[in-house]
């Protein structure tokens, strides 16, 4: 698998950019006496040349169908792929001499012993003890107590129920392992990420450099770095931690950096004028004022870590991902269901706890937080109970090891029965839907993209890039296409691209319908938004379970999972964009007597264009990430190549080539859609804060 | 403050060392800013320089002195470089060229530590958009300057509480900035600037964001604080009536360069060019001009029996005396007769105003 949960990482970028869209810098007023600004290019007419390109392409395809498609059978490899495999083998052979490999090896050992120590305390028998140092009762009590301290009693109850469910459903050890991997990765991500965030927030140059790196990291589906991570850190715990860390880092850097950068210049100037030092400015002004945003970043980092730690089961990382993966591999929904549900429980628990903790901190900072005396009694009482629980859990085996029961497996059986019933009853409907989309959209588009000669497809894509994104986007596109061609997987790349495009079209239809509806009706918004939030909290891996059950292993399953994964973000972006249209403009429009339909199509959507393009951008990358995981459930193409590369050592090079091809596709789609965003609104413009050189720099 | 006598003004400026002395100060924003000064490009207009080199002139070759205790107003349209100028004074923006001396100390060459000391102890600033810390109570906002200096908590809170009383915010110590109205927030800004007991206060359009009535209150507050504390002030505004009300002297900027420096009545009576004339055309002259600007030499045989008024009297205040008396008013500087003013001379000022 593989997969790229471009998820919370991307979401971080979505967050930052949608915040930027919400307050676009007003264009600088024209200097007195300067020439009037040049008239701006009209953009709507882009669709006409685009249609021309497509028509021409279809005609050429019709004449040349099936020629020069560069198709490569699923298990075939080329010389280039074998060369890449060779590089891998050489590196592995030099494990004991190559200084880089020695260094990563030492790091891997350190991470492994850290995780194993934590496992000895919380989840696994700490030999010679037959049980962990702290039994389940103690761990549950401690966690509940922490929730009580940082949040409130409601969250404490949620945490208590979550931990009990881990045990009752029979996945105590895997749940704790997942939490350990997530926790360690988050701590390292914060330690590494906060200084980077400060750099991003305080220096224009660092911001530009780091943003470029983060952009690449986030358009990169995870398995692309899973391959090299495994190469350097070995299969198992260390790779799981490192991959999780890499994946969890961008949100905190991006979002916290954004928060720090958005601290108003006036406040910085005002406090600088009081003679503060660099550190005083950072610790007393910038970080406190950015605190809310930093916590959003932390929350996103935690959720990203959780979703990646789940996926790390693919490289034999411990945790709940393993039983899910095992279930998916044999297409057994019942087996995957219970651990999948527990992953959701864990995600909700972590999300709610961090959110509630930040709300509480806010309240306490402003002098609220309830009666201190009651609270003190509560805290002391809780501490006593916790200590007793830890003590007895070290003494009685039943309180150390969760008593076995069959509830989990009984649920799995029930789920299997229900699923059989559903698929039996609705197979007609789901099958018809699947066939309609497959035959109506997926197959025709795939024929044109993948069955045209490669140079025709390449030309067509480049021409569309020029139409939508302009010259620079076209140049990037040509470079990416050249790379795709070079790595010998052109045909697979076109099939994967087609899946991403079809998925995105469907996502955008959903986003427009629901986004506009939500923006125009507050009650709809209130009703739907929590669902979308929950959808964004769940690690994408989990989506595959129900979708697989409904549609069976196929391309279509991957696309549907991609849609389910991408839609919440896209819908929210559109809703927020339409909502941000100023009420004055809408009133002014209404005063001319326009119809509702005119209001939507002539005022709200055009004015929300920046958000629509951003939603398309995010939709494409999310869907791409998910259709690639689809390789695991029969979606074929690049995703399958990666999975195949992982499973056969002689095909490693082909897997790597597929991974790189996916990145190139992602970068290409990202660049085109971003360039398509209206320049004036997308461009952050010169920010005064960065041109004012604050005279007190970091300590030298 | 309001209108100080010309004589008194010049005497302070000459006798004591200036509190602030600025010489040939330049600020050019842009890629190769320091390459412009001294070349013929420096003489170009702002728009031309921008098209030619991409640089924007913020402040152009500005020199002036401010006497201790003086209220020095800098005025100009938006974009004329006022904010840039005031930020250069404590190097919140680095100057491109020129020198700035505060009480004889060269700020332009000060080390970071010296500069911090200047900001902590000598000069405080009040900003248009307040720049308060939203996560701190009023009292801790006011105490911020003391906090960064390292004053212990108890002591700085006591001092801050005093200042909060001084600016009329008693009872709001524990509020957060977003719970206060704009005028009250700016009082907090003022208190924060005063808390460190600086020698000089800089104001960057502090009242522009406020409603007219609140603005008037705040202006009076500044006048009161100035008379109680006697601090030197550099006050930026784009509002001429505010400038005339507060300033001992007014400096008018255009495109970063000085157009005129003078007392309020000088600026109104003798605008240096059409730009300034345009500015002052709406001002009720009789409220600003002193007798100095309307008096004339006595005509031969004219009566010198009329009432004596000091030369610094404002025309409007002299009007009643002129109408009541049959003889022209004698305009005096101490015991010396400078000239006379009769009803007609005064009417000419008032009528000119009505017609314009
Ligand atoms: N950081 C900056 N970078 C480039 N140009 C600037 C910067 N700050 C100010 N300017 C320019 O300098 C000129 C003076 O600005 P400012 O001092 O803010 O004027 P004022 O306060 O009088 O309205 C303006 O033309 C402005 O565009
Ligand atoms: Mg200004």
Average pLDDT over residues A452-472: 87
B47 with A33: Cβ contact below 8 A: yes
Q: Architecture of domain B287-355 in CATH? A: Roll (3.10)
Tokens 């527990």 correspond to what residue?
A342
Average pLDDT over residues A364-393: 81
Instruction: Identify the DSSP state of B335.
Output: T
Whether ligand 1 lies within 6 angstroms of the CB of B92 is answered as: no
Beta-carbon contacts of A319 under 8 Å, excluding residues fewer than 6 positions away, are A174, A175, A177, A178, A181, A240, A309, A310, A312, A313
- pLDDT tens readout for residues A580-613: 777 777 777 777 777 788 878 777 777 777 778 8
Asked whether the predicted pLDDT for residue A89 surpasses 90, the reply is no
A215 domain-assigned: yes
Asked whether the predicted pLDDT for residue A681 surpasses 70, the reply is no
* B73, β-bridge pairs: B235, B250
A345 domain-assigned: no
Task: Mark whether A684 and A542 lie in a shared domain.
Answer: yes
Q: Which of A31, A273, A691 sits opposite B125 (nearest CB)?
A: A273
Asked whether the predicted pLDDT for residue B136 surpasses 50, the reply is yes
A272 with B196: Cβ contact below 8 A: no
Task: Give me the pLDDT at residue A178, please.
Answer: 93
Task: Give me the pLDDT at residue A177, please.
Answer: 92
Whether ligand 1 lies within 6 angstroms of the CB of B29 is answered as: yes
Q: Which of B47, B130, B192 sits opposite A31 (nearest CB)?
A: B47
Whether ligand 1 lies within 6 angstroms of the CB of A269 is answered as: no
Average pLDDT over residues A259-283: 90
CA angle A367, A372, A375 (to 5 degrees): 125
Ligand nearest to the Cα of B204, by number: 2
Q: Considering only residues B48 and A306, tell me which one the structure prediction assigns the higher pLDDT.
A: A306
What whole-number distance in Å separates Cα of residue A180 and Cα of residue A692? 44
Task: Give me the pLDDT at residue B124, please.
Answer: 92
What whole-number distance in Å separates Cα of residue A500 and Cα of residue A502? 6
Question: What residues does each domain of chain B span?
Answer: 68-95+107-284, 287-355
Tokens in use for B299? Answer: 């005509």
Task: Mark whether A66 and A214 lie in a shared domain.
Answer: no
Task: Give me the pLDDT at residue A284, please.
Answer: 92
Estimate to the nearest angstrom the gap between the alpha carbon of B35 and the chain centroid. Answer: 32
Whether ligand 1 lies within 6 angstroms of the CB of B76 is answered as: yes
What whole-number distance in Å separates Cα of residue A628 and Cα of residue A666? 11
Task: Mark whether A499 and A611 lie in a shared domain.
Answer: yes
Distances (CA, A) of B131 to A201, B166, B185: 18, 20, 9
A168 domain-assigned: no
Question: Which stretch of A127-141, A261-275, B152-166 has the lowest confidence by average pLDDT?
Answer: A127-141
Whether ligand 1 lies within 6 angstroms of the CB of A482 is answered as: no
Asked whether the predicted pLDDT for residue A454 surpasses 50, the reply is yes
Tell me chain B's radius of gyration from C-alpha atoms. Answer: 23
- E strands present in A323-394: none
Task: Mark whether A625 and A485 lie in a shared domain.
Answer: yes
Tokens in use for A29? Answer: 């007023």
Tell me chain A's radius of gyration from C-alpha atoms. Answer: 27
Best interface-test mutation with A: which of B86, B94, B131 has the largest number of A CBs within 10 A?
B131
Task: Give me the pLDDT at residue B320, please.
Answer: 82
A595 domain-assigned: yes
| Per-residue confidence band for A242, with pLDDT thresholds at 50, 70 and 90 | very high
Whether ligand 1 lies within 6 angstroms of the CB of B33 is answered as: no
Partners of B94 on chain A (C-beta within 8 Å) are: 693, 695
Task: Mark whether A110 and A72 lie in a shared domain.
Answer: no
Task: Mark whether A71 and A177 lie in a shared domain.
Answer: no
Task: Give me the pLDDT at residue A18, please.
Answer: 67
Partners of A364 on chain B (C-beta within 8 Å) are: none
How far off is chain A from B317, nearest CA to CA, in Å? 41
Task: Mark whether A442 and A312 lie in a shared domain.
Answer: no
| Per-residue confidence band for A4, with pLDDT thresholds at 50, 70 and 90 | very low
Spell out which residues have Cβ within 5 A of ligand 2, the ion: B 83
CA nearest to A280 within chain B: B148
Task: Mark whether A574 and A690 lie in a shared domain.
Answer: yes
Q: How many CB atoms lie within 10 A of CB B82?
A: 23
How far off is chain A from B347, nearest CA to CA, in Å? 39
3-state helix, strand, coil in chain B (%, to 5): 45, 20, 35
| Per-residue confidence band for B192, with pLDDT thresholds at 50, 70 and 90 | very high
A273 with B79: Cβ contact below 8 A: no
Closest atom of ligand 1 to B253 CA is: 22
B68-95+107-284: CATH topology is: Rossmann fold (3.40.50)
Phi and psi at residue B252, to the nearest 5°: -105, 125
A289 with B93: Cβ contact below 8 A: no
Nearest CA to ligand 1 atom 21: B83
Say how many residues make up chain B.
Answer: 356
Q: Model's pTM, two decimal places?
A: 0.81
- pLDDT tens readout for residues A313-346: 888 889 898 888 888 877 777 788 888 889 989 9
A696 with B116: Cβ contact below 8 A: yes
Ligand nearest to the Cα of B74, by number: 1
Nearest CA to ligand 1 atom 6: B29
**Centre of ligand 1 from the C-alpha of residue B84, in Å:** 6
Task: Mark whether A117 and A57 lie in a shared domain.
Answer: no
Task: Give me the pLDDT at residue A693, please.
Answer: 28
A vs B, Cβ pairs < 8 A, gives 101
3-state helix, strand, coil in chain A (%, to 5): 80, 0, 20
Best interface-test mutation with B: which of A273, A363, A364, A700 has the largest number of B CBs within 10 A?
A273
- pLDDT tens readout for residues A11-35: 666 677 666 666 555 455 555 555 5
Task: Give me the pLDDT at residue A1, please.
Answer: 33
Ligand nearest to the Cα of B58, by number: 1
- State what percent of residues in chain A have pLDDT above 70: 89
Average pLDDT over residues A86-114: 84
**Max Cα–Cα distance, chain B, nearest Å:** 74
Bridge-based pairing of strands B308-310 and B329-333 is parallel
What distance, in Å, lies between the first and last C-alpha atoms of chain B?
29
B135 with A694: Cβ contact below 8 A: no
Asked whether the predicted pLDDT for residue B349 surpasses 80, the reply is no
Q: Considering only residues A533 and A274, tell me which one the structure prediction assigns the higher pLDDT.
A: A274
| Per-residue confidence band for A689, with pLDDT thresholds at 50, 70 and 90 | very low
What whole-number distance in Å separates Cα of residue B154 and Cα of residue B3? 41
Distances (CA, A) of A586 to A518, A592, B99, B150: 16, 10, 53, 53
Task: Give me the pLDDT at residue A38, please.
Answer: 59
Q: Considering only residues A14 and B327, tell me which one the structure prediction assigns the higher pLDDT.
A: B327
Select from A267, A290, A319 the last residue of a domain: A319
Average pLDDT over residues B142-166: 92
Say how many residues make up chain A.
Answer: 700
Q: Which of B125, B129, B148 sits opposite A280 (nearest CB)?
A: B148
- State what percent of residues in chain A have pLDDT above 90: 14
Give the closest residue to A176 by CA, choosing from A304, A305, A334, A342.
A342
Select from A319, A344, A375 the last residue of a domain: A319
Q: Judge whether A325 and A280 are in contact, CB under 8 Å.
A: no
Question: Which stretch of A50-59, B42-51, B195-204 has the lowest confidence by average pLDDT?
Answer: B42-51
Question: Which stretch of B14-28, B165-179, B220-234 has the lowest confidence by average pLDDT?
Answer: B14-28
CA nearest to B30 within chain A: A691
A55 domain-assigned: yes
Asked whether the predicted pLDDT for residue A557 surpasses 60, the reply is yes
What whole-number distance in Å separates Cα of residue A500 and Cα of residue A497? 5
What whole-number distance in Å separates Cα of residue A559 and Cα of residue A171? 30
Q: Considering only residues A69 and A247, tell me which one the structure prediction assigns the higher pLDDT.
A: A247
Partners of A276 on chain B (C-beta within 8 Å) are: 116, 148
Domain total for chain A?
2
| Per-residue confidence band for A160, with pLDDT thresholds at 50, 70 and 90 | very high
- Rounded to the nearest integer, the mean pLDDT of chain A is 81
CA nearest to B189 within chain A: A270
CA nearest to B254 within chain A: A32
Best interface-test mutation with A: which of B52, B80, B87, B116 has the largest number of A CBs within 10 A?
B116
| Residue A626's CATH number | 1.10.3720.10
Give the closest residue to A571 by CA, choosing from A600, A536, A547.
A536
- pLDDT tens readout for residues A610-629: 778 888 888 888 888 888 87
Task: Give me the pLDDT at residue A30, please.
Answer: 52
**Centre of ligand 2 from the C-alpha of residue A698, in Å:** 28
* B29, β-bridge pairs: B56
Average pLDDT over residues A439-461: 86
**Centre of ligand 2 from the C-alpha of residue A294, in Å:** 31
Closest atom of ligand 1 to B46 CA is: 25
DSSP string for A407-433: HHHHHHHHHHHHHHHHHHHHHHHHHHH
- E strands present in chain B: 20-29, 56-66, 71-75, 97-102, 105-106, 123-126, 200-204, 232-237, 249-254, 257-262, 308-310, 329-333, 336-341
Query: Helix, strand, or coil here: A532?
Result: helix
Best interface-test mutation with B: which of A204, A265, A274, A696 has the largest number of B CBs within 10 A?
A274
- pLDDT tens readout for residues A163-195: 999 988 888 889 999 999 999 999 999 999 999
Enclosing domain of residue A217: 96-122+173-319
A680 domain-assigned: yes
Q: Considering only residues A203 and A404, tell me which one the structure prediction assigns the higher pLDDT.
A: A203
CA nearest to B114 within chain A: A275
- pLDDT tens readout for residues A386-429: 888 888 877 777 777 777 777 878 888 888 888 888 777 877 78
Asked whether the predicted pLDDT for residue B355 surpasses 70, the reply is no
Whether ligand 1 lies within 6 angstroms of the CB of B237 is answered as: no
Q: Judge whether B122 and B199 are in contact, CB under 8 Å.
A: yes
Asked whether the predicted pLDDT for residue B6 surpasses 50, the reply is no
Instruction: Identify the DSSP state of A538.
Output: S
B133 with A277: Cβ contact below 8 A: no
Give the closest residue to A665 by CA, choosing from A504, A486, A507, A481.
A481
What whole-number distance in Å separates Cα of residue A386 and Cα of residue A137? 9
Task: Give me the pLDDT at residue A11, please.
Answer: 63
Q: How many CB atoms lie within 10 A of CB A60?
A: 17
A690, containing H or E segment:
helix A688-691
How far off is chain B from A355, nearest CA to CA, in Å? 19
A81 domain-assigned: no
Inter-residue long-range contacts of A34-37, CB under 8 Å, 24+ positions, other chains counted: A34/B47, A34/B50, A34/B51
Asked whether the predicted pLDDT for residue B4 surpasses 50, the reply is no
Q: Calculate the dihedral angle through the C-alpha atoms of A466, A624, A239, A85, rounding to the nearest 10 degrees.
A: -70
Q: Which of B90, B94, B127 sits opposite A693 (nearest CB)?
A: B94
Ligand nearest to the Cα of B84, by number: 1
Asked whether the predicted pLDDT for residue B268 surpasses 80, the reply is yes
Closest atom of ligand 1 to B30 CA is: 4
- The residue whose CB lies within 8 Å of the most ligand 1 atoms, and thus the one to mutate among B51, B55, B56, is B56
Query: Helix, strand, or coil here: A582?
Result: coil
B133 with A288: Cβ contact below 8 A: yes
């Amino acid at each position: 698998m593989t997969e790229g949960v471009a998820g919370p990482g991307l979401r971080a970028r979505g967050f930052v950019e949608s915040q930027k869209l919400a307050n676009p810098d007003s264009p600088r007023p024209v200097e007195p006496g300067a020439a009037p600004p040049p008239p701006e290019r009209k953009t709507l007419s882009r669709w006409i040349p685009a249609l021309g390109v497509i028509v021409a392409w279809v005609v050429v395809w019709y004449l040349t169908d099936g020629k020069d498609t560069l198709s490569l059978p699923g298990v075939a490899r080329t010389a280039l792929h074998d060369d890449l495999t060779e590089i891998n083998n050489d590196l592995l052979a030099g494990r004991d001499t190559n200084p880089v490999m020695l260094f990563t090896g030492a790091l891997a050992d350190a991470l492994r012993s850290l995780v194993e120590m934590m496992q000895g305390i919380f989840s696994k028998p700490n030999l010679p003890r037959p049980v962990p140092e702290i039994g389940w009762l103690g761990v549950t009590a401690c966690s509940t107590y922490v929730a009580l301290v940082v949040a409130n009693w409601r969250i404490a109850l949620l945490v208590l129920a979550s931990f009990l469910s881990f045990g009752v459903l029979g996945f105590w050890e895997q749940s704790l392992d997942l939490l350990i991997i997530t926790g360690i990765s988050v701590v390292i991500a914060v330690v590494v990420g906060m200084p980077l965030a400060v750099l991003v927030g305080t220096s224009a140059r660092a911001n530009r450099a780091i943003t470029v790196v983060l952009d690449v990291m986030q358009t990169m589906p995870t398995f692309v770095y899973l391959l090299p991570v495994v190469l350097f850190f070995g299969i198992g715990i260390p790779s799981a931690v490192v991959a999780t860390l890499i994946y969890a880092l961008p949100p905190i850097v991006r979002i916290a950096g954004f928060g720090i950068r958005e601290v108003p210049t006036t406040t910085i100037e005002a406090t600088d004028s009081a003679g503060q030092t660099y550190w005083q400015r950072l610790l007393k002004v910038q970080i406190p004022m950015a605190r809310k945003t930093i916590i959003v970043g932390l929350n996103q980092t935690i959720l990203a870590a959780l979703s990646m730690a789940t996926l790390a089961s693919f490289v034999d990382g411990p945790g709940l991902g393993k039983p899910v993966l095992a279930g998916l591999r044999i297409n057994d929904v019942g087996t995957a269901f219970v651990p999948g549900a527990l992953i959701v429980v864990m995600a909700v628990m972590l999300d709610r706890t961090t959110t509630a903790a930040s709300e509480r901190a806010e309240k306490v900072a402003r002098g609220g937080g309830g009666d201190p005396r009651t609270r003190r009694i509560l805290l002391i009482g809780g501490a006593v109970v916790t200590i007793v629980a830890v003590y007895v859990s070290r003494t009685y085996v039943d309180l150390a090891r969760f008593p076995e029961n069959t509830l989990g497996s009984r649920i799995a059986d029930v789920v299997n029965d229900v699923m059989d019933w559903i698929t039996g009853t609705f197979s007609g409907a789901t099958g018809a839907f699947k066939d309609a989309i497959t035959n109506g959209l997926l197959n025709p588009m795939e024929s044109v993209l993948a069955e045209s000669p490669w140079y025709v497809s390449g030309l067509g894509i480049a021409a569309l890039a020029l139409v939508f994104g302009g010259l620079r986007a076209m140049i990037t596109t040509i470079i990416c296409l050249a790379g795709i061609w070079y790595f010998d997987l052109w045909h697979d790349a076109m099939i994967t691209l087609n899946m991403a495009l079809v998925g995105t079209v469907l996502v955008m239809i959903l986003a427009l319908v629901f986004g506009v509806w939500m923006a125009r009706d507050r009650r709809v918004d209130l009703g739907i938004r929590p669902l979308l939030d929950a959808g964004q909290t769940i690690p994408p891996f989990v989506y595959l379970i129900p979708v697989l059950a409904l549609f069976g292993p196929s391309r279509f399953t991957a696309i549907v999972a991609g849609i389910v994964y991408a839609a919440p973000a896209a819908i929210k972006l559109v809703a927020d964009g339409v909502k941000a249209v100023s009420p004055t403009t809408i009133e002014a429009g209404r005063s001319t007597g326009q119809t509702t339909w005119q209001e939507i199509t002539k005022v709200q959507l055009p004015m929300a264009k920046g958000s629509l393009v951003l939603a398309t951008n995010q939709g494409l990358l999310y869907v791409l990430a998910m259709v690639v995981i689809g390789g695991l459930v029969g979606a074929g193409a690049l995703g399958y190549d990666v999975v195949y590369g992982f499973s056969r050592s002689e095909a490693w090079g082909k897997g790597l080539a597929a991974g790189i091809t996916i990145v190139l596709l992602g970068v290409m789609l990202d660049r085109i859609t971003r360039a398509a965003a209206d320049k004036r609104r997308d461009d952050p413009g010169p920010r005064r804060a960065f041109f004012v050189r604050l005279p007190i720099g970091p300590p030298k | 403050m309001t209108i100080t006598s010309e004589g008194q003004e010049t005497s302070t400026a000459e006798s004591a060392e200036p509190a602030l002395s600025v010489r040939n100060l330049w600020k050019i924003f842009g890629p190769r800013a320091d390459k412009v000064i001294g070349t013929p490009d420096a003489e170009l207009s702002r728009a031309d320089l921008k098209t030619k080199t991409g640089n924007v002139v913020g402040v152009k070759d500005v020199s002036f002195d401010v006497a201790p205790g003086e209220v020095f107003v800098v005025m100009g349209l938006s974009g004329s470089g006022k904010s840039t100028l005031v930020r250069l004074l404590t190097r919140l923006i680095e100057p491109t060229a020129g020198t700035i001396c505060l009480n004889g100390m060269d700020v332009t060459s000060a080390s970071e530590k010296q500069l911090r000391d200047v900001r902590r102890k000598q000069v405080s600033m009040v900003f248009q958009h307040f720049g308060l810390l939203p996560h701190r109570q009023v009292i801790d906002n006011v105490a911020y300057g003391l906090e960064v200096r390292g004053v212990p908590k108890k002591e700085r809170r006591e001092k801050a509480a005093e200042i909060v009383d001084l600016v009329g915010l008693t009872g709001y110590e524990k509020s957060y900035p977003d719970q206060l109205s704009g005028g009250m927030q700016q009082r907090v800004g003022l208190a924060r600037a005063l808390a460190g007991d600086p020698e000089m206060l800089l104001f960057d359009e502090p009242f522009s964001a406020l409603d007219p009535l609140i603005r008037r209150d705040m202006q009076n507050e500044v006048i009161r604080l100035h008379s109680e504390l006697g601090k030197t002030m550099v006050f930026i505004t784009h509002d001429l009536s505010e400038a005339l009300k507060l300033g001992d002297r007014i400096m008018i900027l255009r495109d970063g360069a000085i157009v005129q420096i003078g007392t309020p009545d000088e600026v109104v009576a003798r605008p240096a060019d059409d730009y300034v004339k345009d500015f002052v055309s709406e001002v009720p002259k009789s409220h600003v001009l002193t007798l100095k600007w309307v008096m004339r030499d006595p005509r031969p045989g004219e009566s010198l029996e009329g009432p004596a008024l000091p030369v610094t009297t404002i025309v409007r205040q002299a009007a009643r005396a002129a109408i009541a008396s049959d003889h022209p008013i004698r305009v005096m500087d101490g015991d010396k007769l400078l000239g006379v003013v009769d009803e007609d001379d005064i009417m000419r000022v008032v009528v000119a105003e009505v017609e314009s």
